[in-house]
Every structure is written in structure tokens, then in C-alpha cells.
Amino acid sequence: MTGSFWWDLLIGVAAALVLTWAALIVALLVVRPRGGLLREALRLLPDVLRLVRRLAADRTLPRGVRVRLGLLMVYLAMPIDLVPDFIPVLGYADDAIIVTAVLRGVVRRAGLDAVRAHWPGTDDGFAAVVRLTGLDRASGGHD
């Protein structure tokens, strides 16, 4: 193998990583909560993190839901962010966006009652989680 092969391989891998990262950034922009919901998601993050931990420990929920929640907790515990904090808007909001996106799927699979049973915050906070997960649109706007 020549040195040129290794350089070509290294450049190809680096380009693939950059393209993958860019695709993830675009995906974050697409799934981010709209309007004031992103600010609301950031405010609710401590309660939502407790909710995620409680749901992940609930053995009555489907295994797939618990696995997703466990992977989410691992991601949140990593010291390296998907989006560096110096990037405007997304830099500080990437965790809230990812939590919201995962929680949408979890709520749809586990059901609203399971989330309500484990919710550690206020009723207003729970209503905000319902809006963030899009359940208010699916249920005709009822909380």
C-alpha cells in the first residue's frame, strides 16, 4: 500500500465524518421545537431529565422505550456535545432538542399515562411537555 492510499483513505473518512455531522445538524434544525417551545424545553430540562431517568427504570414499559431512554441518558452524560456551544442557538440547545425528539417517540410508544405517572414537575410543566411532544395536536389540542 502506498502513502497516497492512506492519505486518500484518511481524507475520505474525514469527509464522511463532516458530512454526517452536517446531516445531524440539519436533522436537529428540522426537529427542534418551534417558537417559544425551545425556550420552554430548556426551562423544563431538569424535570424532563428526572422524567427520563424514572421512565428508563420502569420495567412495565416496553424494552425498546427503556433502551432509547438509556441511550439518551448516555448521550447526555457525554462531555462532548454534538454541537459545540459556540454555535449560535443550537450550541446550547442541542441537548433540549435531542431530549424533545426522543421524548416524542417515547410518549407515542409508552403512552401519555406512563409519562404523567412519572412526571416530577408541575401541571403547567406537564402541559408544556405535552405541547413539546406534539400530543396536543394529535389529541385535538387537549392536555
pLDDT for res 67 = 92
Q: What is the C-alpha separation between 51 and 116, in angstroms, rounded?
A: 9
Q: What is the C-alpha separation between 11 and 13, in angstroms, rounded?
A: 6
Cβ atoms of 25 and 89 within 8 Å: the answer is no
Which residue reads 412519572 in cell numbers? Answer: 118
Which residue reads 403547567 in cell numbers? Answer: 124
pLDDT tens-digit profile of 41-73? 667 778 888 898 999 999 999 999 999 999 988
C-alpha angle with apex 34: 28 to 36, nearest 5 degrees? 125
- Percent residues over pLDDT 70 in the chain: 69
Averaged pLDDT, 91-99: 72
How much is the mean pLDDT over the chain?
Answer: 76
pTM of the model: 0.63
Q: Where are the chain's structural domains?
A: 32-138
Taking 80 as the threshold, does the pLDDT of residue 127 lie above it? yes
Here the cell at position 4 is 497516497
Averaged pLDDT, 2-27: 74
Cβ atoms of 72 and 99 within 8 Å: the answer is yes
